[in-house]
Homo-oligomer: A and B are copies of this chain.
């Protein structure tokens, strides 16, 4: 019942009465072979139960592996827990399916083992989920000579960047949130790979390692200044990641005491966490406090959250296509979705 001796091209060639090369062409370059030969080849293949060229052998000879690496967060689990990372991954995965490409998941802990994995991975290219500026793994990936695409940043020599204009989007959403507000609180993504919770007043964005965090802070700062407030007075709570619990903590630990009247959250998850605390406290949104998120998730829509919409799924597709097919990447679109959580 089980076919244990592998049928090779040579077998098919013999059965079809043609050369091995004709079989190879019949599969790999159907147009370089006559209709008749092709017919004979496929008939013989069918008869022998040959299911097509062996991927491994194909790749050894051609140099292509038909695999794409996605380099995610420190722990793969973090990426699976973040709805936006998941959407991005879905986009990458679908693009891979379209092109019959395997998807290899790699963690990014900046340890030697991960660098080795990146270097030795049997893949045709790399897609990075957003990481810190100067991440050594980027250099490792680039040094393999294979194409590299980075979502969200950083911009890195030898790589293609795919990202919306975070600064502009952050400024736009913050302007909405700050309408009528005097005491904003920023509930931010991590500043660097240590991912420690930390409160800082008016931090200099340029000192922040994650470009996504950095650029959004730049935009928030611009909006704060435009609103006539002093950036140095604005508390920024850096969290450990894009989790609901971070919004909860930011509000519990700081928002309450500071009587914040606007929360600038870097994701809908974080915003939803803040919203929970606001509801517990019996405050009215947006009367007492305005809240904005980022991502336009389903839950955000359900909660009436004003947010920034961008398609991470599409960015995932584009990133994969850029790496796999060398397609150019267009700067992705974004827009502010106004709902009931802002004035």
* Residue count of chain A within 8 Å CB distance of chain B: 40
Q: Give, as a whole number of angstroms, the nearest-CB distance from A108 to chain B.
A: 12
When A56-B122, A77-B90, A86-B80 are in contact, do A117 and B104 touch as well, CB less than 8 Å? no
- Is A59 in the interface zone, CB < 8 Å from B? yes
**A105 to B65 Cα, complex, angstroms:** 15
| CB proximity to B under 8 Å, residues A70-98 | 76-77, 80-81, 86-87, 89-90, 93-94, 97
* Chain B residue contacts of A257, Cβ below 8 A: none
Complex interface bits, A1-38 against B, C-beta within 8 A gives 1, otherwise 0: 11110000000000000000000000000000000000
How many monomers of this chain does the complex have?
2
Tell me whether A281 is interfacial, beta carbon within 8 Å: no
Contacts of A107 in B (CB 8 A): 97
Partner of A51, one of B3, B116, B142: B116
Q: How far is the CB of A9 from chain B (nearest CB, A)?
A: 14
With both chains docked as a complex, state the minimum distance between the C-beta of A243 and any C-beta of chain B, in angstroms: 10
The answer to whether B122 and A55 touch across the interface, beta carbons within 8 angstroms, is yes
In the complex, A280 has a CB within 8 A of chain B: no
* Cα–Cα, bound, A297→B104 (Å): 27
Q: Which chain B residues lie closer than 8 Å to A100 at the CB level?
A: 117
Which residues from chain B contact A97 at a C-beta distance below 8 Å? 76, 107, 117
In the complex, chain B residues whose CB is within 8 Å of the CB of A89: 80
A80 contacts across to B, CB distance below 8 A = 80, 86-87, 89-90
A76 to B86, CA, bound (A): 10
Nearest-neighbour CB distance to chain B for A139, whole angstroms, equals: 10
A3 interface neighbour in B4, B77, B145, Cβ under 8 Å: B145
Please tell me if A340 contacts chain B, counting CB pairs below 8 Å. no
The listed residue (B3, B67, B81, B104) touching A86 by CB distance below 8 A is: B81
Asked whether B60 lies within 8 Å of A56 as measured between CB atoms, the reply is yes
Inside 8 A of A120's CB, which chain B residues have their CB? 51-52, 55
Interchain nearest-CB distance for A132 vs B (Å): 21
Could you tell me the distance in whole angstroms from the C-beta of A239 to the nearest C-beta in chain B? 16
- Kindly state whether residue A309 has any CB partner on chain B within 8 Å: no
Query: Cβ of A121 < 8 Å from any Cβ of B?
Result: yes
CB neighbours (8 Å) of A229 from chain B are none
5 shortest interchain CB distances as A-B pairs:
A55-B122, A102-B104, A80-B86, A77-B90, A76-B93
- 18 A-B contact pairs sorted by A residue (CB < 8 Å): A1-B143, A51-B116, A51-B119, A52-B116, A52-B120, A56-B59, A56-B60, A56-B65, A59-B122, A66-B122, A67-B104, A67-B122, A77-B90, A80-B80, A80-B89, A97-B107, A97-B117, A103-B103
